[in-house]
Amino acid sequence: MRTFAVCARCLSADYDRLASRGKGSLYSWTVVWRAPDPAFSVPYAPAVVELDEGYFMVSAVVGCEVEDLRPGMRLKVVFHEASDEITLPYFAPDGELP
């Protein structure tokens, strides 16, 4: 499968892959209560995570109740194997102080 990525600000297709330690803080989120497909269990929280390296990543927060989400909450990456070929990065509470 071919993917096409562009910058959210300028729509440039010229981008770099950046390394991260996989830790950051919760910048923004929403809670989905109605599943778009039966394969999804609700509620779930799509989120924007501000990584410690200074850039942002769209993912989802797992491992806690949606009612416990707070701005600035410390998160760490956890990987979920969706298939033999696909592993997705999610974020879970870190428990570490900022």
* Span 44-78, pLDDT tens digits: 999 999 999 998 999 999 999 999 999 999 999 99
Tell me whether strands 74-81 and 23-29 are parallel, antiparallel or unpaired: antiparallel
Residues 6 or more apart whose Cβ sits within 8 Å of residue 46: 29, 30, 32, 58, 59, 60
Q: Model-level pTM greater than 0.85?
A: no
Instruction: Please compute the mean of the pLDDT values over residues 1-24 and round it to a whole number.
Output: 77
CATH topology of domain 23-93: OB fold (Dihydrolipoamide Acetyltransferase, E2P) (2.40.50)
Show the tokens assigned to 89: 């990065």
Q: Do 67 and 23 form a contact (C-beta atoms < 8 A)?
A: no
- SS3 call for 98: coil
User: pLDDT tens for residues 76-97?
Assistant: 999 999 889 999 999 999 986 5
Domain spans of the chain?
Answer: 23-93
| pLDDT value at 3 more than 80 | no
